[in-house]
Chain A
Amino acid sequence: EDKVVQSPLSLVVHEGDTVTLNCSYEVTNFRSLLWYKQEKKAPTFLFMLTSSGIEKKSGRLSSILDKKELFSILNITATQTGDSAIYLCAVRGKDGGSNYKLTFGKGTLLTVNP
């Protein structure tokens, strides 16, 4: 069974701090790893990673994948209160048939205090 484990489960920091969120996985026929940010509604897409060692960057957020160690991190620098959210890691693998499906981790609840 595919498994995605995120750590920490929750994190409280002050504005301006840098945070690193972790995601490890075990999945059959790995295709890609995706990071999402979820506030009050459904998740919004942040990054998709398919190649090992290549950093994806968007503003203060960046992410990198290590396919050998089955691991990804999401970095947020100079955090702001608006970064407070649940960050979800999901891995796409292939099931026994022809479908690719996402398996989600439980998420990391990030709280950024002023």
Chain B
Amino acid sequence: GAVVSQHPSRVICKSGTSVKIECRSLDFQATTMFWYRQFPKKSLMLMATSNEGSKATYEQGVEKDKFLINHASLTLSTLTVTSAHPEDSSFYICSARGARETQYFGPGTRLLVL
């Protein structure tokens, strides 16, 4: 199946700093990428949808100024958590969709804000 990578896999940062997470589709071009957040023992919650070359569409309740998304190329999307706080600690997962409708997930990034 298609491969999606995320980097870093785990990050610990101090409150107030910004953290950038990269999502790459390794063997296909992803016209659309999705960013999800998952709390312990909960399902995935969609944060935003990003289409290459255009602004991301954020879900209701997600602060676009706090979670900056850039989808600069067909293989790379980034999520920047700005001025992170402890409540932003979570498991962030990206997903990429290519020409067919199947969505493939990255391995996730576990963020811990102290």
Contacts and interface: CB of A to CB of B under 8 A. Distances in A.
B partners with A: yes
Interface of A: 31-32, 34, 36, 41-45, 48, 50, 88, 92, 97, 99-107
Interface residues of B, number: 22
B43 A88 contact: yes
A62 B22 CA distance: 34
B62 to A, nearest CB: 13
By secondary structure, the B interface counts as strand
Contacts of B114: none
The 9 closest A-B pairs by CB, nearest first: A42-B108, A42-B105, A104-B43, A106-B43, A42-B93, A104-B44, A41-B107, A43-B105, A99-B49
A45 B108 contact: no
A88 B105 CA distance: 13
15 contacts: A42-B6, A42-B105, A43-B93, A43-B105, A45-B1, A45-B105, A99-B49, A99-B57, A100-B101, A102-B34, A102-B95, A102-B103, A104-B44, A104-B45, A106-B42
